[in-house]
Structure 1
């Protein structure tokens, strides 16, 4: 493509909004227009990811550079458990959604229903149901910006440079403190050398994805990058009520960047992005239920499907999720006198989630229910990094984070609500509409630093410290119910107890938390690094943004205390066989105190038991993790990682009882799960992937890629019900294709199949009405083709 084919400057001179850019037709036009900004030099896939090795170095693993310690380092030199995946690997394995990351990462569980009901757990810590007034135990960062809600990461992984998973408490180097780990996602920067690519994929059940990227120099000191995508599919859950397919829909997004480098001593990177989703995600099948659920469903005249593996529901209401999110960040780096580097990262993000969900029946019991969320956040981080050529180096920083979140919880009860919810037509719920609002503002301030003393050429001692102070102000208000029958005093009192007006007043919480790290590493030789570390991390408390126990137990029952983690690591990293093999392994032990989880509350003399997020007790996570990468022969690369993770409650005496117990006559108010497994944590996780590439004449490169991911069974819900246990499963993903020079670029044509064995599996389970459980169904076998052109 020559620069005379388009008039790019006229196309980019007009002001653009993120929403306009997110329109696929406009974004694609702009991508093609910007493609003419630089000379049309060929850009091969190998040139995007690494320089072409010489014949002598051809059979060797590529060096991986990470920024886990806020400096660019070889991953094999960082004395902490860290897994890295580059963008080329994600693209080759067709991993483009956050919920698919557990197929390629060790010790990771992703519970996914929809953007709000999603969570990332590391080493079994972090699999709590969505709570709008509480941060996750595992932090997610996008281009060095902390994402305050897990759902902010639920978009297509577009134009990714690298993904890093750090396990264990983090805080002495990252802006926000976390107790379980960090998922650090970096996108590709603007380049002064022209880069352009376009890719189109299509597959079964209406799957389509189109995406493209253009990057290049605008002036001698200014470069730009623009990436856009649009994905859609029909879904794979059949609604037999009307024949619709659910758990499908569309997603689209755009990211624009500018990189200003007036000299070698200063750079400024501006990023703006917008993502939208309009889907029926969140549609779940009935996974398991006691007899009471089936009896009351029949009493209401409903016929729900019983076998979850059929991937069918029978619902008469609407299933819909709408998500709009975006933000902007500016990162500036100055190289100061003496080798110091000063970094500033300023960011703003917003997230708007709107659901419309039926319950699980084909009759009007609950017509619509859900939680709408509006969230916006601002963060500012400053870091100063010392030079690294002496016996002592350090990074110090300051962090400020502000978040304003509001939610609206709503339920529209239908004329069959009483029969389904209580088994008798009392009129308490029938045709009633209930709404509650919650809001919370969080202000977080932190100072942090980490220093390394190079005691000898081989021995390093690292110490880190962090001080965090957080303030949270919240309020929960439930409005008087609307509609329904006029009731007598007795039944009206029951309705008021369940749905009556309530105002918590202003709730406040203050928390000052220390974090720390001590680490010792020793390089036995150029091929072997050993390390040991002790770390302490804390996650601040939160507020339940739902009425829950407050009308009876008081507003203070909505407050949740902090979660504290103590962690010990012992591991090694090795590079063997002339850089053909990398083998890393580590042992870990983590104790969690004040584990934040969903528990039960029952007021004295009341028959009602309500769920409330609180500090459940103590949890222990221990195990072993390993990773290996090998290049045994020319063109072949093999990656394998895995973990054994024993995660148990050391103390959880007031846990919710499983549905099969809670619905039985004379059921206890709570159960003791001390010594039992923690929800969502598979003991065994293993991931294997291999790619083989042939290099034929005339630049032709056929290739095959195969991956296998295994997870052992896990507790599906926090009550450890037998009805919600998620069985272990293994997934096979296959791909094959050919890369070849075409015109001024390189064409990559491939065929692929995900979940090749069509295994039934589930991403999350959820405690529901009448002791039942619903589950989010994993993607069935899906085959497709992709065409990519880099030019």
Structure 2
């Protein structure tokens, strides 16, 4: 089988005293708020916004500054851009930012990589190489960001090691998400979208003053869809479901020298996300395709996955419950020092129900459920800026407690599908559990010497100590027939009782930064940076081959990255053109990656020797005429294993008689990393009479071929693809608010493409299809 795809000061003061409850309380309150809520942009300032690029403020060096003054490769995506481009899922951010890739199946099996580094899905016992933050709180799992991107202020993508100030495991980069804060001027938004395949999304936000010193904000959403994958077995649809969530905030600001922001959020998902379709059945070895022959022997009927079809006789389902709370306090101290404290707690519960991919009972249900809790505390002291030297120093603690449960409920055709002796696995139940505790402590400091009015030198250092304790066990198998001999040995190897005992890891790791940057003019900055980042190791929380390879095989070593950057940031043509470019060279030793154990049919973490990532990044924004904004960004990235001698073999090798137990993948391209990536986005808006503003938007996202799975099989190669999204709409004023209606078309040319591939049993491969062409409408009212 081939691959298958204007108001007065008095009125302002009166408004600020309105309780937030009144803003929520029906038409009388709404009318009053509308009467006093207008755009704060004057005609002159609006005209400037239509013809000149605006300054974007970031806090990536833990103080507010223009993104163009930060000597780091960074892409900033504003909340307005997300809304205009209809981007509300984390896996779609890669269509806006260069060098970013999100490998997504569902909340657990997802990963974020930058420059090809960090593809580690389903890593319960290991944090990712890309640091993921929301409102200055580190998220220990990529799945903690799998919710609708609601009420977002901006997203910052920082590329390269950022370990000095973003210290928890950032050897590849940082995705920093900032939500909109409570306001002392009332804001309210309601938005509804309807599209094909039963897509329906509604979300709303209300923000405003409760007292003169206290403001609040509440945002909520609900999204559902029927799904876009058809099931041949019983006409069900998959890859749909529902997601719901809310975020509440309070901002206490008694004076200009102190602020306290509390955030609490909750999100849940009930869906069939992660439904994989058949991509390829693998090689033919000695005239036999193992996947197809065993499927036929078990009585299964295969369907072409590129037709957006599956043939499942059981459920494909995930539930996610997650949330958390954080408190951030900022004090302005004497002499303009700023002290910051951030305290946070989060939880994440994930439960799957996975079919075996066939329409016969080889496995009724299999998967891994996870219960994860984390807590963190950070203190930072920032010196005043404007002198010859400024600095930030601080301390950080992160704790984590995670439990998982691995389960497999084998059916009567299990032995046929698995190629085991009769009775070895059929009708057997196997349950295992894993646990890991993590405690991480860090001290950090970063300072900038302003050597001349134009030349700055920055140095940073962070020291981290981390300890992890874990255990893995598996119960004795239940059910099945009494067996002896080969069948008993195979049952014991795949489902037998096991106890790893206590597993411990202790690590002390440094991260550092040296950077020179020079302002050639007020609008042109050049920089050169050397940085070193480290992240600790982890533990495989599934038994896998540990009974034969030993408990030490469950341990994964640390990862160390050295990076060099040479870049230029410029704002040209009277603030109409922003052009940023940089060269990078990164080498990672002890690179952590996922591999697949074909014998035990389990994915596992391992250290893949050394990896080199080198290339060029470009990020540009242009306003050539009034109302037209163009953004073009892209990456050339050559990322390869410099040394990976004990890699898993692809099935075209491993299925042959006398096949080696490992293969040498040195020189091969790293999994999931396209060499060329280009994103182009455009928006054009113009003014009509009566305050009406039509607009059109378009986006084009292209990426070249990528290796689909770590063993680099010729049967698991992701083809290049391009996706085009279009929309058109009209805005206008109503009362003291603004309405906005639009028609949008995602994947306008209905491109069938796979975003991620996964190993399947018997040498086959399954994949995650990108969304098909989807037509929809959105109506929004801001008041």
TM-score range, shorter chain: over 0.9
Contact in 2 for aligned 1:37/1:216 (Cα 8 Å): no
Hey, what does 1:335 align to over in structure 2? Answer: 332
CA distance in 2, matches of 1:679, 1:134: 18
Hey, what does 2:388 align to over in structure 1? Answer: 391
Hey, what does 2:197 align to over in structure 1? Answer: 205
Contact in 2 for aligned 1:318/1:358 (Cα 8 Å): yes
Q: How does 1:26-65 map to 2 (within 5 A)?
A: 36=30, 39-41=33-35, 53=45, 55=47, 58-65=50-57
User: Structure 1 residue 355: deviation in Å?
Assistant: 0.2
Q: How does 1:178-257 map to 2 (within 5 A)?
A: 178-257=170-249
CA distance in 2, matches of 1:131, 1:30: 43
User: Structure 1 residue 659: deviation in Å?
Assistant: 2.1
CA distance in 1, matches of 2:596, 2:661: 8
Deviations 1:366-425 (A, max 9, x none): 110010000000000000000001000000011000000000000000000001110x65
1:103 pairs, out of 95, 110, 113, with 95
User: Structure 1 residue 155: deviation in Å?
Assistant: 0.4
2:423 pairs, out of 406, 409, 427, with 427
Hey, what does 1:295 align to over in structure 2? Answer: 293
Contact in 1 for aligned 2:612/2:642 (Cα 8 Å): yes
Contact in 2 for aligned 1:451/1:464 (Cα 8 Å): yes
Deviations 1:110-147 (A, max 9, x none): 10100000000000001123110000000110000000
Deviations 1:528-556 (A, max 9, x none): 10000000000100001011222112211
Q: How does 1:276-425 map to 2 (within 5 A)?
A: 276-290=268-282, 291-305=289-303, 307-422=304-419
User: Structure 1 residue 59: deviation in Å?
Assistant: 1.3
Q: How does 1:477-516 map to 2 (within 5 A)?
A: 477-516=473-512
Q: How high is the TM-score relative to the length of structure 1?
A: 0.94
User: Structure 1 residue 248: deviation in Å?
Assistant: 0.3
Unaligned runs of 5+ in 2: 1-16, 283-288
Hey, what does 1:17 align to over in structure 2? Answer: none
Hey, what does 2:141 align to over in structure 1? Answer: 149
Contact in 2 for aligned 1:638/1:689 (Cα 8 Å): yes
Is 2:687 the counterpart of 1:695?
yes
User: Structure 1 residue 176: deviation in Å?
Assistant: 1.7
CA distance in 1, matches of 2:47, 2:164: 43
Distance 1:229 1:768, change over 3 A: same
Contact in 2 for aligned 1:278/1:320 (Cα 8 Å): yes
Q: How does 1:415-564 map to 2 (within 5 A)?
A: 415-422=412-419, 426-564=422-560
User: Structure 1 residue 658: deviation in Å?
Assistant: 1.2
Instruction: Tell me the secondary structure at the aligned position of residue 633 of structure 1.
Output: coil
User: Structure 1 residue 9: deviation in Å?
Assistant: 10
Deviations 1:409-465 (A, max 9, x none): 00000000001110x651100000000000000000000111000000000000000
Hey, what does 1:587 align to over in structure 2? Answer: 583
CA distance in 1, matches of 2:55, 2:169: 29
CA distance in 1, matches of 2:180, 2:64: 15
CA distance in 2, matches of 1:339, 1:10: 33
1:772 pairs, out of 764, 770, 782, with 764
Root mean square deviation, CA, Å: 2.1
Is 2:124 the counterpart of 1:129?
no
CA distance in 1, matches of 2:505, 2:279: 38
Contact in 1 for aligned 2:118/2:593 (Cα 8 Å): no
Hey, what does 1:66 align to over in structure 2? Answer: 58
Q: How does 1:169-180 map to 2 (within 5 A)?
A: 169-180=161-172
Distance 1:35 1:419, change over 3 A: farther
CA distance in 1, matches of 2:204, 2:29: 11
Contact in 2 for aligned 1:452/1:462 (Cα 8 Å): yes
2:108 pairs, out of 109, 116, 138, with 116
Instruction: Tell me the secondary structure at the aligned position of residue 358 of structure 1.
Output: coil
Contact in 2 for aligned 1:35/1:215 (Cα 8 Å): no
Distance 1:110 1:697, change over 3 A: same
Distance 1:737 1:467, change over 3 A: same
CA distance in 1, matches of 2:567, 2:450: 19
Hey, what does 1:575 align to over in structure 2? Answer: 571
Distance 1:274 1:337, change over 3 A: same
Q: How high is the TM-score relative to the length of structure 2?
A: 0.95
Contact in 1 for aligned 2:24/2:30 (Cα 8 Å): no
Number of residue pairs the alignment of both structures matches = 762
Instruction: Tell me the secondary structure at the aligned position of residue 495 of structure 1.
Output: helix
Hey, what does 2:9 align to over in structure 1? Answer: none
CA distance in 1, matches of 2:302, 2:418: 15
Distance 1:483 1:304, change over 3 A: same
Unaligned runs of 5+ in 1: 1-7, 14-28
User: Structure 1 residue 578: deviation in Å?
Assistant: 0.4
User: Structure 1 residue 218: deviation in Å?
Assistant: 0.3
CA distance in 2, matches of 1:409, 1:255: 32
